[in-house]
Amino acid sequence: MADSEHAPVDLIELASDAPIRFFDLKAQQASIRPALETRWTDILDHGRYIGGPEVSELEQKLCAFTGAADAVAVGSGTQALVMPMIGLGYGYGDAVFVPGFTYNASVNAVLLAGATPVFVDINPKTFNMCPEDLERRVKQVARQRNLRAKAVMPVDLYGLPADYEGIGTVADQYGLEIISDAAQSFGGQSGNKWVGALASITATSFYPTKTLGGYGDGGAILTTDKGIGDMLRSIRWHGTGEDRKNSIRVGLNGRCDSIQCAVVSEKLSIFEAERGRRLAIDALYRKHLSGVVEIQSRFSDSAMNSTSACGLFTIRVSDRDRVRAELSEQGIPTSIYYDTPLHRMPAFEHFNPAGGLPECERASEEVLSLPMHPYLSEGQVGRICEGVLGAVRG
């Protein structure tokens, strides 16, 4: 479903001069606090802080929302990336292709699984992995004797689903598994499918500031294959079988506790309303800023229309530091995701490809994220846009 098909959603009423927060978890908490307190009391009463009924409840709700065949709640978004690679047996000499412009958790997960990351450049309009550069990197690996191309990890940056059609074509041609990093994109769509059903394995995060976040660390793995889900449940409990005593495979402590699952379940009850507000805020930003600053594209380059989850609203400005300083003086918070591409970080520079990643490097110097959360008012968004326009033009 394309963005243009979404009906406008009324934004909350706040004075335009009300303080602007980059994220606003307090307003969200206030809307669901009574229900949360009831849930916490229930958990205190039954005492199953790990593996309580809230875990399976959340997993069932995630499947119902996304259309995935199975969902496995885990302890963090990073665990959600590591565990499938452990289950698939990736290790020394196995290459996993990762975009060079994302949070470091993506590449850390590959290394923690024992595999080798191969960095891929991005599309400058979407900030997501470029399928053409992916194919070029796969061919390079094929010419090496020390690496075997095994998987590709697209990242849905800022909430926009990656080009799964283009990436899928490359993956099918070269026999690659797709493990989607959807930490920022729960609630996004591509074609008629939700994030969580766009790849055979999808990892998402419940970090508090995500589109669907808890009040601590947490995450989930969604899969279109029930057999993979069963394997992951074993891995998250130290690789044990149904008796939770005897290890039948290598595993780890990947559990998500009952309290976090209860929080995320409760947030799912307001998720559609919050998603509608995010889309409405995104539309307002685009209305006022399009043609003046470069904005992350709404769509991938494939034929499928994509709808972003609007986890972040990101623009490109050539004089970013000055613009950011002027906005700060006006009480408008901003953030930079990300100012250093992965291949230039000390921990990963060993994997820096020859010639670097030009689009990743340019993006790291120009991206600027504006406030994006469901509790902004139309007046606040207008004030932010006025500030951006004044700073860019001045």
d(CA 52, CA 54): 5
- Residue pair 46/52 in contact by the 8 Å Cβ criterion: yes
From 268, 300, 322, the end of a domain falls on 268
Task: Write down the pLDDT at residue 163.
Answer: 95
Q: Are residues 45 and 114 in the same domain?
A: yes
pLDDT digits (tens, 9 = 90+) for 273-300: 999 999 999 999 999 999 999 999 876 5
Q: Are residues 183 and 278 in the same domain?
A: no
Task: Write down the pLDDT at residue 145.
Answer: 84
From 268, 301, 326, the end of a domain falls on 268
- Is residue 156 classed exposed, middle or buried when 0-12, 13-18 and 19+ CB atoms within 10 A define those classes? buried
d(CA 223, CA 203): 9
Q: Are residues 218 and 315 in the same domain?
A: no
Q: Are residues 258 and 381 in the same domain?
A: no
Task: Write down the pLDDT at residue 298.
Answer: 75
Q: Are residues 113 and 228 in the same domain?
A: yes
Q: Is the peptide bond before 338 cis (omega within 30 degrees of 0)?
A: yes
Task: Write down the pLDDT at residue 9.
Answer: 46
Q: What is the largest CA-CA distance in the chain?
A: 67
Q: Are residues 378 and 287 in the same domain?
A: yes
Ranges of residues in the chain with a pLDDT under 70 are 1-16, 299-304
**148-152 vs 201-205, strand pairing mode:** unpaired
From 268, 296, 324, the end of a domain falls on 268
Residue numbers of the domain that contains 150: 30-268
Residue 371 tokens, joined:
């406030």
- ∠ CA 55-198-168, rounded to 5°: 140
Task: Write down the pLDDT at residue 8.
Answer: 38
Identify the CATH number of the domain in which residue 150 sits: 3.40.640.10
Tell me the residue type at 363. Answer: A
Task: Write down the pLDDT at residue 5.
Answer: 37
Pick from 360, 368, 383: nearest CA to 99: 360
User: What is the DSSP track for 79-105?
Assistant: HHHHHHHHHTT--TTEEEEEESSS-TH
pTM assigned to the model: 0.94
Residue 357 tokens, joined:
């990643």
Pick from 137, 47, 151, 54: nearest CA to 95: 151
Identify the CATH number of the domain in which residue 20 sits: 3.90.1150.10
**How many distinct structural domains can be found in the chain?**
2
Q: Are residues 85 and 215 in the same domain?
A: yes
Tell me the residue type at 86. Answer: I
- Residue pair 190/184 in contact by the 8 Å Cβ criterion: no
